Amino acid sequence: MSLWKIIIEALLTLVHILTDRLLEFTLGWYLGPHKRVATPQSIDQQVILTKSAVDLAKQIRERQLKSYDIVKAYIERIEIVNVELNAVVDGPFTEALEQAKQIDKKLAENAYTEEQLKALPFLGVPFTTKDSTAVAGKRHTLGLQSRKDERAKEDAKCVRLMKESGAIIIATSNVPEVNKWIESRNMLIGCTKNPYDLRRSVGGSSGGEAALIAACSTGFGLGTDIGGSIRIPSFNCGIFGHKPSSGVVNMAGCTFRTGKEKQTMVCAGPMSRNATDLRPILQVLVEPEQRSVLKLSQPVDLKRLRYFYVPNIGMKQCNPINRETERVMYKVRSHFKSLCGQEVALASIPETQLTAKMWRYWMTQEPANFNLLLGNGVELNPFIELFKKLLGQSEYSMAAIYSLIDSVLPKEKESVICTASQKCKQYLQQLLGDNGVLFFHSSPRTAPFHYYPLVKFSDFSYFSLFNVLHLPATQVPMGLDVNGMPLGIQVVANDKNDRLCLAVAEELERVFGGWVPPFSLKK
């Protein structure tokens, strides 16, 4: 490397650091003092709210807890914390209490056979999903003022499957307009706030979902992910989230998808406070023909896996990795070295410096027209919308207008991007094989203040790379930083090797503790 190149890179790093600190100082001053979400009202409520979905289901089946009491506790929690979080679009649904009451009645009467109970793994457990995923009869706005009164005619396939597993839907959660931004803000509902610091971003697009889960306002949630939309909010809010391999979960009813799309980066997947919930939820969601391919029930011997890591993505537009984030990677590498008796190997993935360009190109190949989605069927002019925004007359957020402007900018070179994408994917396919796992930073830094992404947004490329490559990735919480914000790491495997990601996530939860409550626990 030449001296001039070293000097330029050092100056660029300095600019990133100074800009980051200036934004942190300015936005921190503007948004006021730090405040967290409220603590549960009682120890009894806290005990229920902090249990895993799997534990709740088990205790309902064994009649140690009543579904009614669980649903009631979560509904009461939503009513308290949503005043601060602004995460709910529709709900809580009071009819959920009647559904829970009927489940308890049937259990008391032994009306379920053993075979029926086996087919209802989440019987009586409350869950939520993002507003863009259809729930029959409920608001389906996609964050648009033009859709404020729209209601879904039928359930999305993933919602229907969860209901058929016995789970009870209790609310839908906030998203950015048509899911296309890394902060959950729109002009209809407003901005969703982070339970760990109400001044900070929950991420997007499944941001309302992550906020509710982290704040113990739902048993678990369903998200969708086209550029990090499960994993960014999961990281920002300190929970677990899994982006499955492409095509294993039917997308019908998610942001108007039909489920018949042959080539798409978007996936639906589980979000939870507990790693041990992810696998059983995914087992409910996967298409029947994919079950034998995924082998989710097959045990994973962690000592026989091969482990790799990448120190950074190599994009000059991204923030440099900060020290606390580097320490997370060091702790993970140290643990798996001691577990397996060999070093976690350094991987040099080619072309990752083009990640932002790759994702931008592949978004243009998606079956959905995001301009038309944003206009609710009407083609929008980005410059007219920008002018209206400057006059305070636009019904769209600045982030949505960014996306509109991006749609008229020069396109990426198809040959360059296709070659880079293929080269990157082939390298990882050969590197990981059927028993390899990659540790990848979630982000160079923890959740930023609201509005920060309007200035610096490239860090989301750490997530979007795996949408481009159609690989499964699990977001794992790894404690809190000095500001009390969640740290984390991504666990990635080869296509259809989701079970490896999930097994490693469970091990990381066991060793490092997983989700940390955003409130003080009552004793």
Cis peptide before 205 (omega within 30 of 0): yes
Distance CA 13, CA 18 (A): 9
Distance CA 342, CA 365 (A): 41
Distance CA 389, CA 398 (A): 8
Helix orientation angle between 67-85 and 207-214, rounded to the nearest 10 degrees: 120
Q: Are 458 and 395 in contact (CB under 8 A)?
A: no
* DSSP structural state of residue 155: -
* Given the residues 165, 206, 217, 229, the one annotated as active site: 229
Distance CA 320, CA 310 (A): 14
Distance CA 74, CA 367 (A): 37
Q: Are 170 and 93 in contact (CB under 8 A)?
A: yes
Residue with tokens 């410096």, as numbered in its chain: 353
Asked about 413 being catalytic, the answer comes back as no
Burial of 506 (0-12, 13-18, 19+ CB in 10 A): buried
Helix orientation angle between 157-164 and 275-285, rounded to the nearest 10 degrees: 110
Q: Which two tokens stand for residue 104?
A: 């308890």
| Pairing outcome for strands 240-243 and 473-480 | antiparallel
Residues ≥6 apart with Cβ < 8 Å to 441:
310, 312, 313, 321, 325, 328, 329, 462, 489, 490
3-class secondary-structure state, position 145: helix
Distance CA 56, CA 170 (A): 15
Asked about 229 being catalytic, the answer comes back as yes
Residue with tokens 């990090």, as numbered in its chain: 228
3-class secondary-structure state, position 510: helix
Q: Which of 431, 436, 425, 432 is nearest to 504 (CA)?
A: 436
* Given the residues 51, 72, 130, 496, the one annotated as active site: 130
3-class secondary-structure state, position 309: strand
Q: Which of 336, 398, 387, 495 is nearest to 180 (CA)?
A: 398
* Given the residues 52, 173, 205, 464, the one annotated as active site: 205
- Alpha helix stretches (DSSP H) within 206-274: 207-214, 231-236
Asked about 130 being catalytic, the answer comes back as yes
Q: Which two tokens stand for residue 353?
A: 């410096």
Catalytic residues: 130, 205, 229
